[in-house]
Amino acid sequence: MAIREIKNAELFVWTDIDPQYEQDFNLWYDREHMEERVAIEGFQWARRYRNVSNDARRYLALYRTENIGTFGTASYRKAFESQTDWSNRNFERMTNTKRRVMHVVQEGGFGLGAAVAMITLPSKDIDAPVVNPVLATVSKLDGVLSLHCMSPDETLSMPLPSEDPTTRSLEAVIVIDATTVSAAEAAAETMLDQLELSGDRSMVFNLIWELRTEDLQKIAAANAA
């Protein structure tokens, strides 16, 4: 699997939710928020995941954009500054949230997996000479499909209400797509071992669903016909 440099970006939101509001939280994401964000000019897809490693921050959402400039457009600012009432209620209910705008600096392989391993690095930057040989090893594991590495943008990573900005930590993140949870776990274990990282720096998630820009375009075209 060749590792290639790219210029895309991603919005990364990793959060927990008060259990009494969890049903509404999921309905909001699935019936409003994902579609609303993917409709923004420059967005390409959105994916939702559920943590299967432990109960810390149960939900992860990733939103791929064409580039980091998408987060400075009038279209994005309008969506960010004009939240719906449903959105504002759920933002207030989210707990222990990490919201980051990420530079996607490199990726390898192809395909969307049923599970992902996520590894957080001690620095906000990807040390490619150190990390890439490990990624090459991981890419050869059975069930590993693709991977991408992200570095947070400090200025654009404005925290949501549940994160204290004074204690915010900015960390680079590696996401590895795999066919099964066990394959994702094996990839995470290899990363931790070879990079000499502690166990709390990895997490495994199940894919909930994906929404792509072309899905919305097809619906719009069908409705207009």
Q: What is the pLDDT of residues 188-225, one digit of tens each?
A: 999 999 999 999 999 999 999 999 999 888 887 878 76
Tokens representing 157 are 């990573």
Task: Indicate the range of 40-44, 79-83, 126-130, 176-180 predicted with least confidence.
Answer: 79-83
Asked if 81 contacts 75 with a C-beta cutoff of 8 angstroms, the reply is no
The pLDDT, as a whole number, for residue 204 is 98
Tally of residues, the chain: 225
CA angle 142, 145, 150 (to 5 degrees): 125
Residue 55 has pLDDT above 80, yes or no: no
Residue 12 has pLDDT above 90, yes or no: yes
Mean pLDDT over the full length of the chain: 94
The pLDDT, as a whole number, for residue 101 is 97
Mean pLDDT of 114-125: 97
What topology does CATH give the domain 3-224? Alpha-Beta Plaits (3.30.70)
Asked if 146 contacts 177 with a C-beta cutoff of 8 angstroms, the reply is yes
The pLDDT, as a whole number, for residue 222 is 79
Model confidence band, residue 102 (pLDDT cutoffs 50, 70, 90): very high
Asked if 41 contacts 70 with a C-beta cutoff of 8 angstroms, the reply is yes
Residue 16 has pLDDT above 90, yes or no: yes
Percentage of the chain exceeding pLDDT 90:
86
Identify the bridge partners of residue 64 per DSSP, sorted by sequence position.
10, 45
Domains of the chain, by residue range, sit at 3-224
Residue 161 has pLDDT above 90, yes or no: no
The pLDDT, as a whole number, for residue 166 is 79
